């Protein structure tokens, strides 16, 4: 699997689709544009191919080509299958071109095509690090079908290349279907709920996760914004109290980034957001992901003091 990044480069892909958000609030189709807008606030701080991260008092390389925008994948508002296929193609083709994809949703049905695109990019196994308030292991229901935002992890776990025993779910909380517990137990899918992260802290949990996924050849970071408490991320598809703080979420992304080969960020909802607070947080999550995972010296262990 990937370790610390050596001259890794990233491409943003938008997926402005929320046709599978059959429960909760729709509106995440507007997120890619708002997150991109917020990114401009961050990127204007680059100077001479570097950016200064105050979190660790460190200069980080940020060359012009570290993060490029590949535009939106082809979305068809009435056609879930076509949209998921296009998203998978975008992830796979980006990897084939030698760059790492950051797919911006859209609803969380996009977890599945992100995993599929990563699996189709080469031989070997894939692990999924899934940050989400919910388990997303629903097989099917009358109202949601089989490929909704409640089934992304279930469909991803059924891909032959996905190593479920090397995958892990983080920041889940409150209540879920008993059938999802049975599926987790049967497949050996690990879960670290938000309550445990609050008790143990983000850094020890990150160390645990890195060790857990280390046997896989490639790793997907699937980040549903509702893993963060609605006090910090009000613009989401659903509000679940007791989630991660923005600081915990950023810390986890910083630590995990060098070990991850693709990211999908979903469920940011500008229609429920407050003054673009959540879109701005999402933009910072992407920025920390590429800065800390992208180039030699970009992770916190290697970055020098300044």
Q: Is the pLDDT of residue 178 over 70?
A: yes
Q: How many Å separate Cα 240 from the centre of its chain?
A: 18
Q: Is the pLDDT of residue 306 over 80?
A: no
pLDDT of residue 27: 96
Confidence band for 299, pLDDT divided at 50, 70 and 90: very low
Confidence band for 6, pLDDT divided at 50, 70 and 90: low
CB atoms within 10 A of CB 207: 12
pLDDT of residue 305: 34
Burial of 258-285, coded b for 16+ CB within 10 Å and e otherwise, reads: bbbbbbbbbbbbbebbeebebbbbbbbb
Q: Is the pLDDT of residue 84 over 90?
A: yes
Cα-based torsion angle of the residue sequence 138, 143, 145, 151 in order, rounded to the nearest 10 degrees: -30
Instruction: Write out pLDDT tens, residues 199-209.
Output: 999 999 999 99
Q: Is the pLDDT of residue 286 over 90?
A: yes
Q: How many Å separate Cα 85 from the centre of its chain?
A: 18
pLDDT of residue 75: 97
Q: Is the pLDDT of residue 298 over 80?
A: no
pLDDT of residue 37: 97
pLDDT of residue 303: 39
CA 92, CA 101: separation in Å to the nearest integer?
A: 8
| Mean pLDDT, rounded, for 258-283 | 98
Per the CB < 8 A criterion, the answer to whether 34 and 45 are in contact is: no
pLDDT averaged over every residue in the chain: 93
Per the CB < 8 A criterion, the answer to whether 246 and 178 are in contact is: no
What element of type H or E holds 179?
A: helix 178-187
Domain map of the chain by residue range? 10-46+66-285
pLDDT of residue 189: 98
pLDDT of residue 102: 98
How would you class 57 by CB atoms within 10 Å of its CB: exposed for 0-12, middle for 13-18, buried for 19 or more? exposed
pLDDT of residue 159: 98
Instruction: Write out pLDDT tens, residues 89-115.
Output: 999 999 999 999 999 999 999 999 999
Is 10-46+66-285 assigned to CATH 3.60.15.10? no
pLDDT above 90 covers what percent of the chain? 89
Cis preceding-peptide flag for 70 (omega within 30 of 0): no
CB atoms within 10 A of CB 204: 12
Coil, helix or strand at residue 14: strand
Helix axes 277-294, 246-256, angle to 10 degrees: 20
Instruction: Write out pLDDT tens, residues 7-33.
Output: 899 999 999 999 999 888 899 999 999
Closest CA to 205 of 225, 184, 190: 190
Instruction: Write out pLDDT tens, residues 271-283.
Output: 999 999 999 999 9
Closest CA to 95 of 155, 159, 9: 9
């Amino acid at each position: 699997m990937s370790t610390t990044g050596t001259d890794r480069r990233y491409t943003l892909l938008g997926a402005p689709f929320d046709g599978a958000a059959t429960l909760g609030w729709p509106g995440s189709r507007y997120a890619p544009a708002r997150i991109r807008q917020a990114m401009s606030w961050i990127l204007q701080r680059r100077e001479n191919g570097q950016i200064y991260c105050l979190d660790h008092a460190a200069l980080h390389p940020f060359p012009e080509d570290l993060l490029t925008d590949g535009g939106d994948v082809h979305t068809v508002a009435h056609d879930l299958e076509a949209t998921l296929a296009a998203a998978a193609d975008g992830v796979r083709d980006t990897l084939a071109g030698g760059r790492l994809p950051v797919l911006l949703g859209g609803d969380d049905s996009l977890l599945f095509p992100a995993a599929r695109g990563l699996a189709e990019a080469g031989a070997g196994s894939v692990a999924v690090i899934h940050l989400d308030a919910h388990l997303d292991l629903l097989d099917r229901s009358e109202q949601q079908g089989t490929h909704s935002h409640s089934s992304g992890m279930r469909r991803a776990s059924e891909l032959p290349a996905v190593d479920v025993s090397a995958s892990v779910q983080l920041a889940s909380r409150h209540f879920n279907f008993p059938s999802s517990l049975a599926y987790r137990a049967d497949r050996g899918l690990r879960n670290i709920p938000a309550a445990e992260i609050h008790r143990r802290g983000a850094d020890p949990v990150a160390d645990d996760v890195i060790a857990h996924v280390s046997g896989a050849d490639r790793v997907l970071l699937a980040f549903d914004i509702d893993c963060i408490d609605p006090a910090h991320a009000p613009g989401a598809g659903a509000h679940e109290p007791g989630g991660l703080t923005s600081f915990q979420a950023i810390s986890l992304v910083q630590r995990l980034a060098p070990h991850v080969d693709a990211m999908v960020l979903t469920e940011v909802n500008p229609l429920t957001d407050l003054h673009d607070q959540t879109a701005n947080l999402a933009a910072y999550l992407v920025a920390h992901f590429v800065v800390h995972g992208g180039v030699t010296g970009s992770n916190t262990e290697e970055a020098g003091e300044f």
